[in-house]
């Protein structure tokens, strides 16, 4: 079969690129606010369980499928199915992934655009203007949001158009070390300027009285989103992974790095929130409103604020390129159009859809689309709670029950029987059942409320 022959050049590139995809707004913006509103340590503990029991086996499955076919997710699913004697219709899972990627990119880019905008805002912030006013000023203007959304999508198109090696690999090798350094700077800042002990105990002392079934569901959804699973990004990056890399070890490293950075983001944020007497449970506005207010009162805040928002922007960019790449790779591979044209046209679709999300902050703030949610909320709901868990569940079912053992064993290196046996048990029984349980639990109340 005609496989593509592109593989990452650097020994660490797969890990950096997959970690780049995984570490994003979900870690630095989403994780801390969700931990903050779900009782801290107890949420963190359940989240860890989800990462290793559901996320890790599915991540391995995506890489196995991607690398064995060396094709974009649609064709990887199709080839894997055909070679295993299963129906080529399994490619629908790949198509669902492409759709999710474009939908997520559309609203992710609006949020990332706000992060870009905040680099300047935090540089000029003073205690004279409240951070709530700053936030509403930035988001009340549709043209302002449109500008930053356009800048962010253009960066993505540009990088992807350059290709896997000269585009993605090159920027990843530069951005990821910067990201690690900046997050360390922010944690050090929290040690100096924040109430670090209180931050630590908030993150690690579990208060189980706060745990409800909803905590469990929220932690699981977050684990999925955070590891970029169920929509083809990891499968696509896996198709570029050199043959001699060990899938289990790299997956473990990526999941570990993603978790480490989410926890570090919490340790960068909560000590500051406590020291400045702000509310840890303030929800989605935690970084844009609460952190901005802390920076405007902090020594060197006009320097540290921009550092924090550059960190967020880099994390967002290394994630968003992995949202666009699977569909561009498909267009490229099928020779539908050239890679640059594919990047521009698919990026344009995401850009257009993103306009609905940016209007949710202003002109459409009263308009509801799905279940009382605004446009951005609806996009988030469709992808995060419908398409991604469904995609992940089907990947698990496919890998556990249909994919030929020969393919799997060929991908997991020699002498890995133990890894194989444990993985097989999880991917067959544990991961899909847990995902299905969450999926059903999230949807039943949802359809009741319609
Ligand atoms: N994992 C990214 C984050 O945590 C989001 C993402 C989801 C990226 C799916 C790619 C694919 O922000």
Ligand 1, residues at Cβ distance < 6 Å:
21-22, 24-27, 104, 225-226, 228, 231, 233, 319, 322-323
Give the helix ranges, DSSP H, for 129-210.
Answer: 131-140, 142-161, 170-193, 196-204
pLDDT of residue 130: 81
pLDDT of residue 160: 97
Q: Is the pLDDT of residue 96 over 90?
A: yes
Tokens 């060396």, residue located: 70
pLDDT digit string, tens, across residues 280-318: 887 778 888 888 988 888 889 999 999 999 999 999 999
Give the predicted TM-score (pTM) of the model. 0.94
**Segment 389-406 mean pLDDT:** 95
Q: Is the pLDDT of residue 413 over 80?
A: no
pLDDT digit string, tens, across residues 249-266: 999 999 999 999 999 999
**Percent share of the chain, pLDDT over 70:** 97
pLDDT of residue 178: 94
Q: Is the pLDDT of residue 126 over 90?
A: no
pLDDT digit string, tens, across residues 167-185: 999 999 999 999 999 999 9
- Average pLDDT over the chain reads 92
Q: Is the pLDDT of residue 161 over 90?
A: yes
Q: Residue 25 CA: which ligand 1 atom is closest?
A: 12
Q: Residue 233 CA: which ligand 1 atom is closest?
A: 11
| Maximum separation of any 2 CA atoms in the chain, in Å | 67
Residue 433 Cα to ligand 1 midpoint, Å, equals 23
pLDDT digit string, tens, across residues 141-157: 999 999 999 999 999 99
Q: Residue 319 CA: which ligand 1 atom is closest?
A: 8
Half-sphere exposure of 195 (CA within 13 A, CB side): 14
Residue 228 Cα to ligand 1 midpoint, Å, equals 4
**Segment 417-433 mean pLDDT:** 94
Q: Residue 258 CA: which ligand 1 atom is closest?
A: 4
pLDDT of residue 2: 58
Residue 85 Cα to ligand 1 midpoint, Å, equals 32
Q: What are phi and psi of 361, to 5 degrees?
A: -80, -15
Q: Residue 229 CA: which ligand 1 atom is closest?
A: 9
Residue 176 Cα to ligand 1 midpoint, Å, equals 15
Residue 225 Cα to ligand 1 midpoint, Å, equals 5
Domains and CATH numbers, the chain: 13-449 (1.10.4160)
- Categorize the per-residue pLDDT at 449 as very low, low, confident or very high, splitting at 50, 70 and 90: low
Q: Is the pLDDT of residue 4 over 70?
A: no
Instruction: List CB contacts of 128: < 8 A, sequence separation 6 or more.
Output: none
Q: Is the pLDDT of residue 140 over 80?
A: yes
Which residue's alpha carbon is nearest to atom 7 within ligand 1?
228
Probe ligand 1: pick from 18, 109, 319, 388, max atoms within 8 Å of CB?
A: 319
Q: Residue 22 CA: which ligand 1 atom is closest?
A: 1
pLDDT digit string, tens, across residues 82-94: 999 999 999 999 9
Probe ligand 1: pick from 24, 110, 234, 311, max atoms within 8 Å of CB?
A: 24
pLDDT of residue 210: 79
Residue 388 Cα to ligand 1 midpoint, Å, equals 11
Residue 358 Cα to ligand 1 midpoint, Å, equals 19
Tokens 């409320």, residue located: 449
pLDDT digit string, tens, across residues 183-233: 999 999 999 999 999 999 888 888 888 788 778 777 888 888 999 999 999
Residue 90 Cα to ligand 1 midpoint, Å, equals 23
Which residue's alpha carbon is nearest to atom 10 within ligand 1?
228
Q: Is the pLDDT of residue 447 over 90?
A: no
Tokens 């290709």, residue located: 163
Residue 22 Cα to ligand 1 midpoint, Å, equals 5
Instruction: List CB contacts of 343: < 8 A, sequence separation 6 or more.
Output: 156, 157, 160, 161, 324, 328
Q: Is the pLDDT of residue 343 over 60?
A: yes
pLDDT of residue 430: 95
Q: Is the pLDDT of residue 127 over 80?
A: no
Angle 184-235-72 (CA atoms, 0-180°, nearest 5)?
Answer: 130
């Amino acid at each position: 079969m005609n496989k593509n022959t592109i593989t990452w050049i650097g020994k660490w590139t797969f890990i950096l690129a997959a970690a780049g995809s995984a570490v994003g707004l979900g870690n630095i913006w989403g994780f801390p606010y969700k931990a903050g509103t779900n009782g801290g340590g107890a949420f963190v503990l359940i989240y860890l369980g989800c990462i290793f029991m559901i996320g890790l086996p599915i991540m391995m499955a995506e890489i196995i499928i991607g690398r064995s076919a060396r094709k974009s997710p649609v064709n990887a699913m199709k080839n894997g199915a055909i070679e295993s004697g299963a129906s080529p219709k399994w490619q629908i899972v790949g198509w669902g992934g492409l759709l999710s990627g474009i939908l997520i990119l559309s609203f992710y880019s609006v949020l990332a655009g706000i992060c870009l905008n905040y680099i300047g805002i935090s540089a000029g912030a003073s205690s004279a203007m409240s951070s709530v006013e700053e936030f509403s000023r930035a988001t009340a203007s549709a043209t302002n949001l449109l500008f930053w959304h356009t800048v962010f999508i253009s960066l993505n198109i540009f990088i992807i158009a350059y290709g896997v090696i000269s585009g993605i690999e090159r920027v990843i090798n530069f951005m990821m070390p910067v990201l690690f350094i900046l997050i360390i700077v922010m944690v050090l800042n929290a040690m100096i300027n924040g109430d670090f002990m209180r931050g630590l105990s908030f993150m690690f002392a579990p208060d189980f009285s706060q745990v409800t079934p909803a905590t469990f569901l929220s932690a699981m959804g977050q684990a999925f989103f955070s590891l970029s699973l169920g929509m083809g990004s990891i499968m696509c990056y896996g198709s570029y992974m050199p043959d001699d890399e060990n899938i289990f070890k790299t997956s473990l490293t990526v999941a570990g790095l993603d978790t480490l950075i989410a926890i570090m983001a919490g340790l960068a944020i909560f000590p500051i929130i406590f020291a400045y007497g702000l509310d840890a449970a303030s929800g989605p506005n935690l970084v844009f409103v609460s952190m901005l207010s802390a920076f405007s009162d902090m020594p060197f805040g006009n320097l540290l604020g921009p550092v924090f928002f550059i960190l967020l922007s880099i994390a967002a960019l290394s994630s968003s390129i992995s949202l666009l790449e699977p569909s561009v790779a498909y267009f490229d591979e099928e020779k539908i159009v050239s890679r640059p044209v594919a990047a521009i046209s698919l990026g344009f679709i995401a850009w257009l859809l993103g306009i609905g999300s940016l209007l949710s902050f202003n002109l459409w703030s009263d308009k509801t689309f799905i279940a009382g949610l605004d446009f951005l909320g609806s996009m988030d709901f469709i992808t995060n709670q419908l398409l991604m868990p469904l995609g992940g569940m089907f990947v698990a079912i496919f890998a556990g029950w249909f994919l030929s053992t020969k393919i799997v064993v060929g991908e997991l290196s020699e002498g890995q029987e133990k890894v194989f046996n444990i993985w097989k048990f999880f991917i067959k029984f544990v991961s899909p059942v847990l995902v299905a349980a969450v999926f059903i639990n999230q949807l039943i109340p949802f359809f009741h409320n319609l």
